[in-house]
Amino acid sequence: MYSKTVIDHFTNPRNMGEMKDADAIGKVGNPTCGDLIWIYIKVKDDVITDVSFKTFGCAAAIATSSMITEITKGKTLKEAYQITRTDVAENLEGLPPIKMHCSNLSADGLHKAIQEYLRKTGRTVEDLK
Ligand code: FES
């Protein structure tokens, strides 16, 4: 079953909604379950100052999207790029094994948004090292 934290983030998602003035957007989908996640980021001096999400998906996909926005805000691009699928699941006090792919989706969405931001500013993830 889901942890209390998963249920909390599913029933009361943080930072939900499209960001009209986002600096970059990461969109990912899972072709098997059909779920879709958009992660929006706002960046200043290579720090993620704001982050939000839009998710069409299961309870775990919504909870992981919400959690990733919480742990990403205020981090540098480099720190945020190091957030893994496991970090998201651990912050949610675990996910059922069958739902682990849902945390993959949100972490991949964040990484894609960061890649997109770097691309727009003429850089790649190699430049974060
Ligand atoms: Fe696919 Fe959760 S069932 S993201």
The secondary structure of residue 76, as a DSSP letter, is B
Query: What is the Cβ-side half-sphere exposure of residue 109, based on CA atoms within 13 angstroms?
Result: 33
Q: Is 83 in the pocket of ligand 1 (CB under 6 A)?
A: no
pLDDT band for 70, please (50, 70, 90 cuts).
Answer: very high
Q: How close is the Cα of 81 to the center of ligand 1, in Å?
A: 22
Range from 12-21, 65-74, 91-100 carrying the lowest mean pLDDT: 91-100
pLDDT above 90 (res 103):
no
The class of domain 4-123 in CATH terms is: alpha beta
Give the mean pLDDT of 99-115.
Answer: 93
pLDDT above 90 (res 101):
no
pLDDT above 90 (res 100):
no
**Cα–Cα distance measured from residue 5 to residue 32, given in angstroms and rounded to the nearest whole number:** 26
Domain borders along the chain are 4-123
Mutate to test the pocket of ligand 1, among 53, 67, 101, 104 (most ligand atoms within 8 A of CB): 101
Q: Considering the candidates 24, 102, 105, 118, report the single residue annotated as catalytic.
A: 102
